[in-house]
Amino acid sequence: MNAAEECFARYGVAKTTVEDIAASAGLSRATVYRSFAGGRDEVILAVVLRDLRRFLDRLSGRLRHERSVPDAIVEGVVDAVAFVRGEPHVAALMAPDAAGHTQAAVIGGAERLLHLCADYVRPYFGAAQRAGTLRADITVEGAVEFLFRIISSMIVMPREDEPREFLRTYVVPALAESS
């Protein structure tokens, strides 16, 4: 995966081949395929999942220290958008002009991405519902998918102004109990 990341930085995600990754890792193409039977798309997804876990580890630490559910929602979305924009190979997957097969790698793994995110936020989500600060009629999976779609939208169509007010006005009320 490290070799794949190096190739993504050198050639771009869309132009990186399994041959490039194998050469960078000092392995044969067959060895890469033994580890990643799905080939290039599976390697891309593995790198994205690894980076997402790193981000979610940082986000979990932040969620423990946020003062309120609205703050956690707003800052979590802002952090996620910044994370994707700051990771060139992840951002390349979200770009409208990305190669179709590159986006297919993430779309094909979208369920895995959503489940991973849901698993990370589940403890905070449950605690907020028990405290009455998060709507009781929503599920963690639905909330994560909703936020995933918001984050994707904000990456593809960046706001010219400060996004926090937009998020507080339109996104927070969809998830948090009004106080």
**Are the beta carbons of 59 and 120 closer than 8 angstroms?**
yes
Look up residue 152 and give its two tokens.
């994707």
**What pTM does this model have?**
0.78
pLDDT above 60 (res 99): no
Q: What does the pLDDT read at residue 97?
A: 47
pLDDT tens-digit readout, 5-46: 899 888 888 788 999 999 999 999 999 999 999 888 889 888
Q: What does the pLDDT read at residue 104?
A: 62
Q: What is the mean pLDDT of residues 146-172?
A: 91
pLDDT above 60 (res 96): no
Lowest mean per-residue pLDDT among 22-26, 75-79, 104-108: 104-108
**Are the beta carbons of 141 and 96 closer than 8 angstroms?**
no
- Residue 105, judged by CB atoms within 10 A of its CB (0-12, 13-18, 19+), counts as buried
Place of tokens 């996620």: 80
- Residue 119: CB atoms within 10 Å: 12
Q: What does the pLDDT read at residue 178?
A: 82
Q: What is the DSSP letter of 178?
A: P
